[in-house]
Amino acid sequence: MAVRTMEELVSLCKKRGFVFQSSEIYGGLRGVYDLGPLGVELKKNIRNAWWRSLVYERDDIEGVECSHLSHRLVWKHSGHEDTFSDPLIECKTCHSRMRQDKMKDETKCDTCGSSDLTDPKKFLLMMKTNIGPVDDGSSFAYLRPETAQGSYLNFENVLLSMGRKLPFGIAQHGKSFRNEITPKNFLFRLREFEQAEMQFFVPPETDIEWWEKWKNIRHQWWLEQGIPAGKLRFKDHEQLAHYAKCATDIEYEFPWGFDEIEGIHDRQDFDLGSHTKSQEDFKINAKVLPNKDSTTRMSYRDPFTGKEFIPFVIETAAGLDRAMIALINEAYTEEKLPNGKTRTVLKLKKHLAPIKVAVVPLAKNNPDIMMTGMKVRRVLSELGIGRVVFENSNNIGKAYRRHDEIGTPICVTVDFDTLEKENHPVTVRDRDTMEQVSVNIADIGKYVKKFYSRETPQQDVERLYQFSKMKEKGRE
């Protein structure tokens, strides 16, 4: 189940402490949001799941973290200075500014209906900031509109420092900035947002094969985060970005319909070729600007053939803010209970839940129960599973309801039985089934650790299988 309207989603995110409007008390900044206590945990968990699947669970991808500010020439040679713009139209009557390609009717203002409109102008989406003590109009840098360029600029550094061979990838997550003309749909189109992008460098003739592979790997990842297959679809780009040979979006069905959450692009040799000096030494497939500014060649020498060439790039580019709203939306569930009441549950996958365990001591006025509860909390905090909270409410029903609503997978209750009974049992209550099991206090760490342990990833299962086959063959 999901929320019914966008307004419901926004209100849920605010009320439960996921997302707040930035600079709210001064009227807010359009297209800019702050994350609250639960939002910051959720986003961290999504980011970690992404990083784990690409960097920790594979042997062919390295991670980097590049600066938000970058040299103007980066964006000249990446093509962004020339092409990263939207067609802007202004209404001469009410002064609303609109993206021409997103207007309901190109002859009338979306806000007041006037036909007195300016001609479309190219509006650069990159944001500038002044750098250094002199503000003479030339000493500026761009805030990056994508993380990808930082990964391209470090291609050679990573290749050499990590002793890599093709194919290999560079993953990076972090903030990107775009001066969107019409930020909209809550966290969907922002001016400041977080991307999770991976650039996979391959021999040119293998690009399509890798593009297909990455489409499937990324689609599978979204399924593993809890989005059902029926709510996802691929949509090939009809209009390609300046760098792309082919591109597809993974779209999710938001409350307003299917829209992009990730792009899988075959950027061919556009970016590495653009940032390369002596471009004439190579056969560059993409249309690139001549480059007299670069100090290096972004090339690769095949260790077997000795041939030097510019690798092709397959990019997977996801947005973590869009992921947040998709996953909250998908997890939101209202259930009818046998007593006729309705229960609201946020059925996030447990690895994404902002709070992993709530320890609930009953009763608040009993120091022995409180001390035992604190000890349980300590043991669970040290498991490294994420945030564990000591729930200081005296009302167990309220505590369970609140934790159902924010998606806490388990609550551990400490009560008089814990003090008095043999083996000092605590009660573990499951968010989804509402079942309660009794666990001896000495075993609670082991129990929770097992609850949060992960299955062996499919690719490792496959590799282990291949190795075992090899071993069998060796014995024959």
Amino acid identity, position 375: K
Q: CB of 46 within 8 A of CB of 58?
A: no
> What is d(CA 177, CA 30) in angstroms, rounded to the nearest whole number?
13
Smallest distance from ligand GAP to CB 195, Å = 5
Q: Can you give the length of the chain in residues?
A: 476
Q: How far is the CB of 376 from ligand GAP (least distance, A)?
A: 40
Q: State the minimum distance, in angstroms, from the CB of residue 308 to ligand GAP.
A: 26
Q: At 188, which amino acid appears? A: F
Which residues 6+ apart lie within 8 Å of 371 measured at CB? none
Number of shown-chain residues binding ligand GAP (CB under 6 A): 19
* Contact pick of 189, 218, 347, 403 for ligand GAP (by CB under 6 A): 189
Interface segment toward ligand GAP; rule CB under 6 A; list 110-118, 186-194, 209-217, 344-352: 186-194
Binds ligand GAP by CB under 6 A, chosen from 43, 297, 322, 387:
322
Query: Least distance (Å) from ligand GAP to the CB of residue 182?
Result: 10
Angle between helices 37-51 and 207-224 (to 10 degrees): 140
With respect to ligand GAP, which residue has the nearer C-beta, 260 or 391? 260
Q: How many CA atoms lie within 13 A of 128 on its CB side?
A: 11
Query: For ligand GAP, which residue has the nearest CB?
Result: 319
Cα-based torsion angle of the residue sequence 322, 60, 41, 377 in order, rounded to the nearest 10 degrees: 150
Contact present, 439 and 428 (Cβ < 8 Å): yes
Q: Is 49 in the site for ligand GAP (CB under 6 A)?
A: no
In whole angstroms, the minimum distance from the beta carbon of 317 to ligand GAP comes to 4
- Judged by CB under 6 A, which of 79, 169, 311, 319 binds ligand GAP? 319
Q: Does 173 bind ligand GAP (CB under 6 A)?
A: no
- Tell me the pairing of strands 342-346 and 312-319: unpaired
In whole angstroms, what is the distance from residue 410 CA to residue 350 CA? 9
Amino acid at 208: I
Give, as one character, the DSSP assignment of residue 56.
I
**Smallest distance, Å, CB 149 to ligand GAP?**
8
Residue 148 host element (H or E): helix 148-153
Selected from 62, 260, 330, 415, the binder of ligand GAP by CB under 6 A is 260
Torsion over CA: 452, 456, 458, 459 (sign): positive
Cβ at position 453, least distance to ligand GAP in Å: 30
By the rule CB under 6 A, 266 interacts with ligand GAP: no
Selection from 419, 225, 402, 229 nearest residue 327 by Cα: 225
* Comparison of 147 and 427: residue with beta carbon closer to ligand GAP: 147
Site for ligand GAP (CB under 6 A): which residue of 84, 193, 309, 312? 193
CB 160, CB 208: distance < 8 Å: no
- Taking CB under 6 A as the criterion, the residue among 180, 207, 266, 391 binding ligand GAP is 180
**Min CB(404)–ligand GAP separation in Å:** 29
With H, G, I as helix, E, B as strand and everything else as coil, classify residue 92.
Answer: coil
Q: Is 253 in the site for ligand GAP (CB under 6 A)?
A: no
* 385 part of the interface to ligand GAP, by CB under 6 A: no
Q: Which stretch binds ligand GAP (CB under 6 A): 190-198, 214-222, 397-405, 465-473?
A: 190-198
How far is the C-alpha of 429 from the C-alpha of 255, rounded, in Å?
32
Q: What are phi and psi of 129, to 5 degrees?
A: -140, 150
Helix segments in 192-288, DSSP class H:
207-224, 270-274
Among 150, 263, 311, 354, binds ligand GAP (CB under 6 A): 263
Alpha helix stretches (DSSP H) within 332-457: 367-381, 396-406, 416-420, 444-452
Contact assessment for residue 264 and residue 248, using Cβ atoms and an 8 Å cutoff: yes
The least CB distance from residue 124 to ligand GAP, in Å, is 14
Residues 354-373 that bind ligand GAP (CB under 6 A): none
Name the segment binding ligand GAP (CB under 6 A); options: 187-195, 388-396, 397-405, 432-440.
187-195
Gyration radius from the chain CA atoms = 26
Of 197 and 266, the one with the shorter C-beta distance to ligand GAP is 197
Nearer to ligand GAP, 248 or 418 (CB): 248
Write out the binding residues for ligand GAP, residues 129-158 only, by CB under 6 A: 146, 148
Of 195 and 427, which CB lies nearer to ligand GAP in the complex structure? 195
Q: Which stretch binds ligand GAP (CB under 6 A): 193-201, 278-286, 413-421, 457-465?
A: 193-201
Q: Which residues bind ligand GAP (CB under 6 A)?
A: 146, 148, 178, 180, 189-190, 193, 195, 197, 260-263, 315, 317-319, 321-322
